[in-house]
Structures are given as C-alpha cells and as structure tokens.
A and B are shown apart, each in its own frame.
Chain A
C-alpha cells in the first residue's frame, strides 16, 4: 500500500503567523492536488501541480512540488482564521489512475 504522509498532523497557531505543511511519499506522482475541507463539508480543490519544481501561488498560499515529484509543501503567509480547516494532499501515483489522499493536516488559526 502506497502511503502519502502529511506533517504535522495537527497545527495550531496565532493569526498573522506563517506556517508550512508537508506532503511526502516514497513514490512518484503524475500530479498532485491540495484540498481544504471544513467541518460538515466536502474537500475543496485549491490547486494542482504537475511539473517537478513547480511553484504556484494563490493569494497568501504558496504550493511547491518537489523536483522528484515525490513531495509537496503548502506555505501560508500571515494566517487568518478563515484558513482553519483540514488540508489534504492527493495525487495519482505514476502509472496508477486511482487518486490517493494524504493523512491530512488539521490547521487551527487562533484569532
């Protein structure tokens, strides 16, 4: 079974601070997506990265895909309470059409 590990599992920080969460695997991804899920709702797609080394910015969120396409990171600048949620990375491993989801990082931003 291929594992997609996210770290940290839980993160609680003050509003205005910066943070980074990580998504790691021992296998190569064809592409990788990041989702955010709020309580009582389904995950919402934030971004897709495809090319090794790719960096995408979405307002205060910066997503990076590792050069070897085995890992990714999400950096949030000046976190706000609205960033609170469960962050999930997901991707199809190279040669596999199924989407594998990471273990998740539960982020809480304290006002």
Chain B
C-alpha cells in the first residue's frame, strides 16, 4: 500500500506571496491532518479534515487554510507569506475520527523557505 505523498517536497517563496501544498493520503484513509514543524516550536497542529469538513483547528492565523476533496486528497494554503512561515509542513492521514485518528501516518513533508 502506498504511503502518504506530499508535493512539492521543496519550495522557496518570497514574503507576501501565497503557496498551496498538496497531500494524498493512504488509500482508505479518510482523515487528513496538517502540521507545521520548526526547530523552535516543534510539531504544531494546524487542522484536520474528514469527509471534506474541517473537524479541528489549531492556533494559527486565518492566513492558513485548507480543504479536502471527495477523494480524501487535501490541500493547504498559506497566504501573505511571512519569514516565520518557513518550516517543514507535514501531512498525516488516518482511518477516521475516534481512537484510530490518533494513529497518524505521515508524509515526507514539504520544506517551505520564505525569503
């Protein structure tokens, strides 16, 4: 079974631009979560989607948004990029809500650098 895939793997953007990251979950997984990982703050939860609906949201500004499609694929968007948005963005999939949602299967991440 193929794992979680994320595209692109690396991205360099300029302050003020916007960016869209893509995630394809493991086949059969219907829940997708996004995380931001930085050396200073560690791994922080952005949001979770299930059946095209946002179920949970972390403490990030409204510049961070996401969506999920009917095939469970997900995208996240960051608008008006700031230098502090430079990070590894990780997507994780799980079977769905409930106890199984806590067992996350991660993709390799997208390394975003904002200059």
Contacts and interface: CB of A to CB of B under 8 A. Distances in A.
A103 interface: yes
A108 interface: no
Interface stretch (B61-69, B70-78, B105-113): B105-113
A82 interface: no
Interface stretch (A15-23, A42-50, A55-63, A64-72): A42-50
Given A42-B92, A98-B56, A91 B42 contact: no
B87 interface: no
A110 interface: no
**Residue of B58, B92, B101, B102 contacting most chain A CB atoms (<10 Å):** B102
Contacts of A33: 102-104
Contacts of B33: 99
Size class of the contact patch on chain A: 20 to 34
B43 A31 contact: no
Interface residues of B, number: 24
Given A97-B55, A98-B58, A99-B33, A45 B103 contact: yes
Contact of A42 (B4, B44, B58, B102): B4
B102 A104 contact: no
B106 A44 contact: yes
A40 B102 contact: no
Given A40-B108, A41-B108, A97-B55, A31 B42 contact: no
A40 to B, nearest CB: 7
B45 A100 contact: yes
Given A97-B55, A98-B56, A104 B103 contact: no
With most chain A CB atoms within 10 A of its CB, the pick from B33, B56, B103, B107 is: B103
Given A88-B43, A99-B33, A31 B106 contact: no
Interface of B: 4, 33, 35, 42-45, 48, 55-56, 58, 90, 92, 97, 99, 101-109
Considering the complex of A and B, which 3 residue pairs feature the smallest CB-CB distances, nearest first?
A: A42-B106, A101-B43, A43-B106
Given A33-B103, A43-B90, A97-B56, 8 more contacts: A33-B102, A35-B106, A41-B108, A42-B92, A90-B43, A92-B102, A99-B104, A103-B42
